[in-house]
Structure 1
Amino acid sequence: MKTTILVADDDEHIRKLIRIYLENSHFTVIEAADGKEALEHLSTKQIDLAIIDVMMPHINGIELTEEIRSFLSIPILMVTARGESKDKVKGFNAGTDDYLVKPFDPVELILRIKALLKRYNVVSEKIVKVGTVTIDLERLIIESPDKELALKKKECELLFVLASSLGKIFTRTQLIEKIWGIDYEGDERTVDVHIKRLREQLTSFPDLSITTVRGLGYRLEEV
């Protein structure tokens, strides 16, 4: 499943330009001509990142950003023709993550989007395969040609991260930040508990093994 990006701008030509570059970079694009339409999409669809223009009818970009922050935690990139410092301050105070002034370099736009997605740990694909085993983050399942197993959300996210970098050692801190977030205040042993549960469930998938690397962390290996 591709990463879905909302482009909210009342200028049809700007939306078309952004759409072309985003789709060329393998993103799915949903367009909104004003803040009201953008909110409707955000309330009914799975959006991974929002690109928002400041000057829009009905609900402007600042107000839209504040609304998004009240119920969603997604990356927001503000794109506007207004480059004054006071406008940037308003944008950041409202909750935007980044700011790009028109006219902009589309290549820079893509780079900023990818940096924001990485910061928020949003993956462009929600399916990863290890040999004959598929881990589906969207459906929260792990499956092979002859079996399927449903996982809890955090367990699936943990397995997905490990499988996305097969053989790489992840420390407990790295796994906490990627899955629970940098603001998580719980004990790192939470990771150990989830790893234990995953190992118990992976007994039916003998091709996969979560290895403990003493003093470092965990890694997933294909047996």
Structure 2
Amino acid sequence: MPKMLIIDDDLHLRKLVLTYAELNGFQCKEAENAERALSIVHESDFDILLLDIMMPGMDGFETLAELRRYSQVPVILLTSRTEEYDKLLGFNLGADDYVSKPFSPKELMARVSAVLRRSGGKASDTLQFGKLSIQPAARTVLLEDHAINLPPKEFDLLVKLAQNEHIVLTRSQLLEKVWGYAYSGDVRTVDTHIKSLRERLGHYRKTILTVWGVGYKFEYKQEG
């Protein structure tokens, strides 16, 4: 059973989300502020967090920044703020999605399922993009039902990009996430591996986009 942490100072909203989440098969915990949430995260593992931005004390942005120091658990931000700057800030801090209040609980659960699919969470062990299938746990990639043998770092790069679909990852971030914080190689190492990875993906090479001067992002467009 996938586990969800609901972080919001609005008790009514927490209970509403909890009700729908439990009906969809989630085991839920609640936190009314950032301090309590971070304490709970240190004590238990979760598959996804729903995080309100406007909270007393530490706000959602500060909470997310602190969380990303030690955890890559998927996070959906909940907020009544709709400015583009706020959304960009949330994504740059590592949010996986952004839902504006008021929202439909059914839509929220659909977003939760989509994020878990992208992240390889319990809702699905497979990242599926058209005829490209990525299975992180089994470390396999299928393209049109044919297995593609990827070197370990190219596989890790593909998974990390696919798990963060539509989000730009800098070369430095990819070095840290794929090679580890202790890796001291040149950022051009990323470019070399991306080039090789694209060649192995055939026409799906176009899913890996270069963001000039920044890094790369994964973006799948439905085939016509």
Q: Same fold (TM over 0.5)?
A: yes
Per the alignment, do residues 94 and 172 of structure 1 end up closer, same or farther by CA in structure 2, a change over 3 Å counting? same
> 2:157 aligned with 1:158, yes or no?
no
Q: Does structure 2 retain, via aligned residues, the 8 Å contact 1:63–1:94?
A: no
Unmatched tracts of structure 1, length 5 or more: 127-155, 163-167, 189-223
Root mean square deviation, CA, Å: 3.1
C-alpha contact (below 8 Å) 2:77/2:97 kept by paired residues: yes
Kindly report which structure 2 residues correspond to 1:33-48, keeping only aligned pairs within 5 A, or say none: 33-48=32-47
Displacement of 1:169 after TM fit?
6.1
- CA 86–123 in structure 1, closer or farther in 2 if over 3 Å, else same: same
- For structure 2, the 5+ residue unaligned runs are 126-135, 162-173, 179-189, 198-224
Q: Distance in 2 between matches of 1:170 and 1:108?
A: 34
Q: Is the 8 A contact 1:157 1:179 kept in 2?
A: no
Q: Give the corresponding residue for 2:113.
A: 114
Q: Deviations 1:28-84 (Å, cap 9, x if unpaired)?
A: 111000010010011110111111000112211000110111100111100111112
Q: Which residue of 1 aligns with 2:19?
A: 20
Taking the TM superposition and a 5 Å limit, the aligned residue runs for 1:180-219 are 181-182=160-161, 184=178
Q: Distance in 2 between matches of 1:179 and 1:24?
A: 33
| Matched positions, count | 153
Report the equivalent of 2:149.
172
Change (3 A) 1:98 1:125: closer
Residue 74 (structure 1) aligned with residue 73 (structure 2): yes
How far apart, in 2, do the equivalents of 1:177 and 1:90 lie?
26
TM-score w.r.t. structure 2 length? 0.59
- Alpha-carbon contact 1:3-1:125 (below 8 Å) kept: no
Q: 2:38, 2:66 → 1: CA distance?
A: 8
AA matched with 1:158: A
TM-score (norm 1): 0.59
> Partner residue of 1:9?
8
* Shift in CA distance, 31/169, structure 1 to aligned 2, threshold 3 Å: farther
**What is the CA–CA distance in structure 2 between the aligned matches of 1:67 and 1:81, rounded to whole Å?**
22
Which stretches of structure 1, 4 residues or longer, exceed 6 Å deviation after superposition? Answer: 185-188
The structure with the largest alpha-carbon Rg is 1
Report the alpha carbon displacement of residue 170 of structure 1 after superposing the two structures with TM: 4.6
Identity of aligned residues (%): 31
Judged with a 3 Å threshold, the aligned counterparts in structure 2 of structure 1 residues 170 and 30 are, in CA distance, closer, same or farther, namely farther
